[in-house]
Each structure stands twice: as structure tokens, then as C-alpha cells.
Structure 1
């Protein structure tokens, strides 16, 4: 009887983590919709599985149908952890109290690309033409438009910037002849996996900025934040699956976010707020 009781006690203890995980509120990870939902799930699933396994807690990976919805859900604190657009991250920090957690080591290069067979030779060639971009609220778009203005190409006057909702759609717009160029990044081209179907060449590096940011909700306690920081660094920088994850994203490694990184995004936040005024 004693042996049976010991066996049953061990069995119950072995099931306890799973039982806690089943009954505990999921940790919600929100990923900004810069790619299709299916692609984002495929890319971020290794991180989700690592966190779920390490925390012994359900982890829910979600996105939103568009940038505006994602921004609104972030403002409502519906996400515990966000992988978000840089300008969104700075706004979430300033206005909602989200805590900067980590950033990829590699900076974000904002590219202006065209099809390989295009006759365009430089940025000046897009004057009077249409440029495709993902979303008017994306930091890539904000940074690209700012760089075009600095080059004397004012959107709406000298060039048309047309949102397509995704990087893949921007490439498709060029293939159809609806746009002569697109604002994108080398990491986005790599992640969508369709660059081979639409061979492109870079006309210019329009600007360089802080890449996608990871932040945590102000609803999480400080120990929870530090646990997430530690687990994500261990995963990305210290495991084979994590290194593959970072390679797939083109992000290098995960590093701390500096106050300087965040402050550098303020001009884009100003542009973001101006763009929001036109949408609401």
C-alpha cells in the first residue's frame, strides 16, 4: 500500500506542471502583421514553444489583421509580450507604459527596390511614378517616406506611395506593373520567401533604423519581465533552435535596448501620429 501511495504521489507531481499550464491564463505574444499570419506563425512558433516549455505555461501567438488594429490592441494592453514595429514600440513605451525588453542586433535597412529588368537607375527615376509599400503606419514606410522627402520627392506631389498590406503584395504590384519600385528591407525579402519569384535589385538604402522591438506589458510584474528577458536571450543566443530562429528572421542575436535606441525613434513617432490623424 505504501509503495502504491508513493507511486500515485509521484504521478500526481509529474502531472502538476501540465495541470497548472492547462489552468493558467496564457501568455499572449503579439506580433505586428508585417507578413501574412501563416508566415508569422511559422517564423515565431519556435519562440512560442520555447517559452511554453520553459515557463510551463500556455503561450498564445497572435497577430492582427492590420497595423492599426495591432496598435489599438497594444494600447489596450491585450498583449503580454510584443514583437512590434519600432515606432509602435516607442509609442507603446511612452503612452501605455510597455517596457523595452530586447532588440535584434542587426539594424533595419530601409530599401527602395525595383525589378531586376527595370530601367530605373536611381531614386530620382521614381519621380512621377508609383512606389508600393506595406502599410502607411509601418516604420519602414514612415522611414522611407521621410527619406524620399529629404531627397526632394514629396509623396502626393512628386511620387505616389501606395500601401499594399504586405511585402509580398508589394512585389506582386511591381510584377503587375502597378508600381515601379517598393519600400522594403532585406530581412523582409528573405522572410517572405518569394524574392526568387520576383528578382529585385536595390536602388538605394533610404535609411537605417532600430529594427523590430520586443517589449512587455506594464501589467507584468518585474520578476516576470526579467524571466522573459533571460529566457529569450538564452533561446536566441544559446540554443541551436534559437540561432536558427534568429537566422530565419535575419536578426543576428538579441541584445538589450538602449535609451538611445528608443529616443532615436521619436521622429518616426511624430510621423506616425500625423499619419494616424489622416486615418481616424
Structure 2
């Protein structure tokens, strides 16, 4: 990605070095796979067992904690922080345009919080082991920038576009929140069996993948220099690397489809590619009866 000309987002809070916070529970995001890795389960059981049971996937049923103390200060200039702010800035501008032209609505950007170890959120305590996640309670995206190295070393999905895909996926959950999709799915999950609730969670994650693709398509159309050869392939490789089936097979030698909460590698690649190729929010209806 060519980010030299990109403006940095100001909707970023840097809590790194602010110390950890114990207790509580947090939401689940694209990086929830990491806690499963650490626990050696790889989703062989319902991953919410690892995250203390019956909380909703997006954390809407969890009690809000008091707002954390701000640790903003001057923006950090380390490469990871600058990259993150520039990617988020592009995502903000892109979704503002998409909301305006496709949805005839005003986009309200989330804040992105960089942290290390653990941090309080409106959804409980966020931890590095969870990977990046979105909390609908405070409309923040949370990320420990060390996940970029995790993505490259553990999942073999390096490259700046793969990292940008991680951020775009979590912002995709924010888009779901703005559009009221998250509320409807959470209500449906509460009325559903465990298997059906997991299936709905998969559809949420696949739609966030598709929304990440919508961002990539529209960002490229707005700036033909933004993407470099191989960038889209990096994103597709990252999506394939974190499919539930691949992680389970690698971790325990077999898969448990009814425990899937993020989708198979094939599904994740399909929906990310669909968003990339169409650039249309309307192409991301993962809940349709004939959706893959």
C-alpha cells in the first residue's frame, strides 16, 4: 500500500504503556482466534467457553464499565501507530463516501484504541490475547499492534494490506452497528439454539469481511495509487489463514463445524473477494437464504 499521501485519523487513542486492568469480560473480534490458540482449543469447543460463557458475540449483553482515564498525549510516531492512523483515516473517508452515495446516510466513525496487555472497555476488559475487536457499547475498535507480528509469524499472512484488512474488518462491525444489523442479530441469537447462534455469528463475521472488501474497492477507486500489486492477494491470504476449519485442523487434527463462529477459509475468502469486486454494501447480504 502507498500511504505517503494519506492523512492520519485523529480518532485514535493511544493507551500503550498505561498499564493493565484486571477482571471483566470483553467482546470477540477477528483476533479471538489467538486466545483459542493460547488455550490450545482452536475452537474445538464453543470459543465463548474460553471467554467465560454466555456473553453475546459482540458484547452487547455485557455491563458497561466506567469510561477509562484518557492517556492521549502527543501522537506516537512509531511505524505501527502511523500506519494504523493512516489506514483508519482512509477507512473513515471511504466509508463517509459510501454512506453518502450508497446509503444516503451520514457515517459516524469509530474511535480506535491502541493498547498493550489489557484495557477497560464498555464491553468489559479487553485483552491482548483476544486480538483486535470492536465494542459496540463505546463504538471503539481496540487493537494491540503486536497483532501485526502475530498475523505474520503465526498465520503466515504478512504485508501492510493484510494488516489494513484487520482494521477494516473491525470497522465492518461498526458499520453493522450503525445500520442496526448487530442489534437484530443479537436479538435473534438470544432466541436461538447454540448451533443457530453460532451460525448467526458466522454470518456476522462474513459480512464484516465483505464490508472490508467494500472499503478496499472504493478506496482503490478513489486513489488508484493506493494499492500495489499483490495487496489484494495479501488480504485474501489473511482471510484464508484465519478460517475456523483451518485453525481447528492445524490445532487438533479435525474440525467441529457446529462450533464455527467466524466461517471457513473458503467462506471468508469468498465474502472478502465479493466486497472487493463489487464495492457495494448491497452485495454483502450474508444472511440471505442462498448465501454461501
**Greater fraction strand:** 1
User: TM-score w.r.t. structure 1 length?
Assistant: 0.27
The structure having more radius of gyration, on CA atoms, is 1
User: TM-score w.r.t. structure 2 length?
Assistant: 0.26
